[in-house]
Amino acid sequence: QSALTQPPSASGSPGQSVTVSCTGTSSDVGGYNYVSWYQQHPGKVPKLMIYEVTKRPSGVPDRFSGSKSGNTASLTVSGLQAEDEADYYCVSFAGSNTMVFGGGTKLTVL
Amino acid sequence: QVQLQESGPGLVKPSETLSLTCTVSGGSVSSGSFYWSWIRQPPGRGLEWIGCIYYSGSTNYNPSLKSRVTISIDTSKNQFSLKVSSVTAADTAVYYCAGPYRSRFEYWGQGTLVTVSS
């Protein structure tokens, strides 16, 4: 069970859109529609932003969206705002009731 | 609203066993279909899933930690617990408890820093 692959960093200007990728295998991301995304500000607890690839919990702005193609899931943040600057982690179900995280992506709002 | 709170020693000696407890309020650990998880984050690094326990008591662990980890549940106290044996400095991390679903972590505790040092 290897960690999912995320780019270490991503950036965009206010108002722009940014997409963060999360690449796994057919044994995790590609095999199940159970990918979720978490936002973590420095020193804070991670917050669920997207679950089951595309679903948004109540209270999460619709600027955040998720998708998946093959073994790669993606988180898109549209209309970037300063408060979106944070670390983002993907996690996928990996079979046998196990989960695997991505290494995290630091999103910078320029 | 479900709330989780971790508790346990903040300092553990190398080769000893790390023990943490997560107390759940606003919900029951024994509710059907709920999974309760432990996740850790070494300082300055990413999140790592440690394992989970089903309300019935069945467990699943990260293969890389499986030989050293035990998760248990105490429905009478509405708590679940984590033990990591033979700890080294590499086990120094903020430990989070989370739940209540298998495939997503909707509720998180505040996290507790455990340092492994003599």
Largest CA distance in chain A: 41
A50-91 pLDDT, tens digit per residue, is 999 999 999 999 999 999 999 999 999 999 999 999 999 999
Residues of chain A contacting B108 with CB distance shorter than 8 Å: 45-47
Q: Give residue B92's pLDDT.
A: 98
* Per-residue confidence (pLDDT) for residue A40, from 0 to 100: 98
Q: Which token pair is A1?
A: 């069970």
> Measured on CA atoms in the order B83, B87, B91, B94, is the torsion positive or negative?
positive
Q: Is the pLDDT of residue A1 over 80?
A: no
Yes or no, beta carbons of A98 and B103 under 8 Å apart: no
Q: What is the mean pLDDT of residues B3-31?
A: 96
Q: Is the pLDDT of residue A110 over 90?
A: yes
Q: Which CA distances in Å does A69 have to A2, A35, A89, B34?
A: 19, 12, 18, 29
CA distance B12 to chain A (A): 22
Burial class of residue A70 in the structure, from the number of CB atoms within 10 Å of its CB (0-12 exposed, 13-18 middle, 19+ buried): exposed
Tokens of A65: 């969206």
Per-residue pLDDT of B28-44, as tens digits, reads 998 878 999 999 999 99
Name every residue in A having a CB less than 8 A away from some CB of B. Answer: 1, 3, 32, 34, 36, 38, 40, 45-48, 51-52, 57, 89, 91, 93, 96-104
Of A46, A97, A100, the CB nearest to B108: A46
Chain A interface, best mutation among B56, B102, B104, by max A CB count within 10 A: B104
Task: Select the residue of A48, A101, A104 nearest B104 (Cβ to Cβ).
Answer: A48
User: How sure is the predictor about A104, in pLDDT bands with cuts at 50, 70 and 90?
Assistant: very high
pLDDT at A96 over 90: no
Rounded CA-CA distance B31/B54 in Å is 10
pLDDT at B55: 87
> Mean pLDDT across chain B, nearest whole number?
95
Asked if B47 and A97 come within 8 Å (Cβ–Cβ), the reply is: no
Which residues in A lie closer than 8 A to residue B34 (C-beta atoms)? none
Per-residue pLDDT of B47-69, as tens digits, reads: 999 999 998 899 999 999 999 99
